């Protein structure tokens, strides 16, 4: 009987240990940068969601799941913004979501961490390691990081856009996530 009580107490404590965090969209950004005709440009995804489970005492058990609406990419350039959801780029009608899913935060010293997960864009899934900083204070967590990618590894930029002559192959995903416990 005592063993059952101990097990029940541990199970009841599990949700608190999981450390669910609610992302604060107004304080968070998910963006990207690249080059076009040699000039730098940047943009954001206007629609995305993230679920985060993190306990500072057990970073190896953390989990993050981000879902991005690929049709919500915006750069402030009308021509580029109209092209991004098309089949040559994100193919948003066929692949409306990009997804990042990772488990475990590996401490790298101080406020630096890394997590390895799967990034899926246009149906292409690749394992990536995402470095980031994480500051937690008074029930608020702020994570910042960037991930360099080669866009064609995910099929972004088809046909005449598959080379890097006009639109550079290197892109960087940038984020700031603010979440409350």
DSSP code at position 46: S
Summarize the confidence of residues 11-27 as an average pLDDT. 68
Q: How far apart are CA 147 and CA 129, in angstroms?
A: 8
Give 79's contacts (C-beta < 8 A, 6+ positions apart): none
Predicted structure pTM score: 0.88
* 61-78 confidence digits (pLDDT tens): 999 999 999 999 999 999
Higher-confidence position of 22 and 13: 22
Residue 166 C-beta-side C-alpha neighbours within 13 Å = 7
Higher-confidence position of 19 and 71: 71
Over 80: is that where the pLDDT of 37 sits? Answer: yes
How far, rounded to the nearest angstrom, does the alpha carbon of residue 29 sit from its chain's CA centroid?
10
At 19 the pLDDT is 81
Mean pLDDT over each residue of the chain, to the nearest integer: 91
* Ramachandran category for residue 153: left, alpha or beta (phi over 0 → left; psi -120 to 50 → alpha): alpha
At 176 the pLDDT is 98
Q: How far apart are CA 177 and CA 175, in angstroms?
A: 6
The CATH number of domain 18-180 is 2.40.128.110: yes
Give 166's contacts (C-beta < 8 A, 6+ positions apart): 36, 37, 160
Min mean pLDDT across 3-7, 89-93, 109-113 is at 3-7
């Amino acid at each position: 009987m005592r063993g059952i009580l101990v097990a029940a107490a541990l199970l009841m404590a599990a949700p608190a240990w999981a450390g669910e965090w609610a992302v604060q969209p107004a304080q968070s950004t998910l963006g990207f940068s690249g080059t076009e005709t040699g000039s730098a440009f940047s943009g954001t995804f206007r629609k995305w969601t993230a679920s985060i489970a993190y306990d500072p005492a057990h970073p190896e058990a953390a989990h993050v799941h981000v879902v991005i609406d690929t049709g919500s990419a915006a750069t402030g350039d009308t021509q580029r913004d109209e092209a991004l959801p098309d089949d040559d780029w994100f193919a948003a009608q066929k692949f409306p979501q990009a997804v990042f899913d990772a488990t475990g935060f590996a401490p790298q010293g101080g406020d630096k961490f890394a997590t390895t997960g799967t990034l899926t864009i246009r149906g292409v899934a690749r394992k990536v390691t995402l470095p980031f900083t994480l500051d937690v204070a008074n029930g608020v967590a702020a994570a910042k990081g960037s991930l360099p990618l080669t866009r064609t590894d995910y099929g972004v930029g088809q046909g005449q856009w598959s080379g890097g002559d006009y639109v550079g192959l290197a892109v960087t995903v940038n984020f700031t996530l603010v979440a409350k416990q």
